[in-house]
């Protein structure tokens, strides 16, 4: 049975400094854990929940209906944040939360194909209506394209060997399932790597998931739009789970909270940056949370406020 455990829940909610009459967005609703806590704190305010996943819509609606009805679920990728909110007459918001990566249920429901721990079709789509799947990438993309995404999104040192082995195997028969892909990956790796700590397919599965869902591009577009929509004192909170997401967040936040000073300008005349960081270093999970929520180990929380 799927059990949802929101990561860095208390830290995220505290960072948002929720106003009871504010307009808030959960860009990655998932199982509704963070949304539920935001909704609890609103009276005359409103929450807009984004998720493109059918299961997320059904599950989170059950959770949120127990709390109140002052929310709107928008079944769309958060890259469409600005467009979808504008359609509803919303041009400014008081806070937004991103809990990036894969939702717990997407990992835990085998047939979604996100996990190398279950034998299932190679799917990995967050939007189950889109055509591109991990199976299509593995069986149809060129050797060069496979190497590119394995290096760029998985940061795997054996990207070429794995891509070459995939190319070799699929000439004989298609690679349909997660376990079939795991076997191919293992056959491409030296024994010392297979004996090393961690699952040998972890980085390749991450790379495929990011490629299938275009995760990095859509996040950069979305967070940039979100910062533009924030009201004065509005806050954006982002929880990331790997270095690629975190690097984008760190860069966007740094640019927004830094003023480029022209040479020769007197220090007294330097204007404030339009945003300020809430934390100099990202927040990470407490020892207590790490004991019961294994997925919190790699999580980092960054937050920024509009001046």
Q: Give start-end residues of each CATH 1.10.150.170 domain in the chain.
A: 117-213
For 276-285, the pLDDT digits (tens) are: 999 999 999 9
Banded pLDDT at 106 (limits 50, 70, 90): low
- pLDDT tens by residue, 56-102: 888 899 999 999 999 999 999 999 999 999 999 999 999 999 999 77
pLDDT band at 269 (very low <50, low <70, confident <90, very high): low
User: What CATH architecture is 117-213?
Assistant: Orthogonal Bundle (1.10)
Count CB neighbours of 108 within 10 A. Answer: 17
Asked whether the predicted pLDDT for residue 1 surpasses 60, the reply is no
CA distance 78 to 147: 28
pTM beyond 0.75: yes
Find the mean pLDDT for residues 195-214.
93
pLDDT over 80 at 53, yes or no: yes
**pLDDT confidence of residue 109:** 73
For 114-158, write each residue's pLDDT tens digit: 889 899 999 999 888 899 999 999 999 999 999 999 999 999 999
Give the model confidence (pLDDT) of 163-193 as tens digits: 999 999 999 999 999 999 999 999 999 999 8
Residue 134 has φ and ψ, to the nearest 5°, of: -65, -35
Identify the CATH class of 9-99+215-306.
alpha beta
Q: What is the mean pLDDT of the chain?
A: 92
Confidence of residue 296 (pLDDT cuts 50, 70, 90): confident
Question: Where does the chain hold its CATH 3.40.50.150 domain(s)?
Answer: 9-99+215-306
pLDDT of 272 reads: 83
Looking at the chain, the whole-number percentage of residues with pLDDT higher than 90 is: 78
């Amino acid at each position: 049975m799927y059990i949802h455990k929101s990561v860095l829940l208390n830290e995220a909610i505290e960072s948002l400094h929720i106003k009871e009459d504010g307009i808030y967005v959960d860009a990655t609703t998932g199982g509704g854990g963070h949304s539920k806590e935001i909704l609890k704190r609103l009276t005359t305010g409103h929450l807009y929940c984004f998720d493109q996943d059918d299961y997320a819509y059904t599950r989170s609606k059950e959770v949120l209906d127990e709390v109140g009805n002052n929310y709107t679920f928008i079944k769309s990728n958060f890259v469409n944040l600005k467009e979808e909110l504008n359609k509803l007459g919303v041009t400014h918001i008081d806070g937004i939360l991103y809990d990036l990566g894969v939702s717990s249920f997407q990992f835990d429901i085998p047939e979604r194909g996100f996990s190398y721990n279950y034998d299932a079709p190679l799917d990995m789509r967050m939007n189950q209506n889109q055509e591109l799947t991990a199976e299509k990438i593995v069986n149809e993309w060129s050797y060069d394209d496979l190497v590119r995404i394995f290096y760029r999104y998985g940061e795997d040192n054996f990207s070429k060997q794995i891509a070459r082995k995939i190319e070799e195997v699929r000439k004989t028969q298609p690679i349909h399932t997660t376990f079939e892909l795991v076997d191919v990956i293992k056959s491409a790796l030296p024994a010392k790597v297979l004996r090393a700590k961690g699952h040998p397919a972890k980085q390749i599965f991450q790379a495929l998931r990011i490629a299938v869902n275009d995760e990095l591009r859509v996040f950069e577009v979305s967070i940039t739009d979100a910062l533009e929509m924030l009201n004065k004192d509005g806050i954006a909170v982002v929880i990331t789970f790997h270095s690629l997401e975190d690097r984008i967040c760190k860069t966007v936040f740094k640019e927004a909270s830094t003023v480029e000073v022209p040479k020769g300008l007197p220090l007294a005349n330097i204007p404030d940056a339009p945003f300020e960081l809430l934390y100099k270093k990202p927040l990470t999970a407490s020892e207590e949370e790490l004991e019961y929520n294994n997925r919190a180990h790699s999580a980092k929380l960054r937050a920024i406020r509009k001046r």
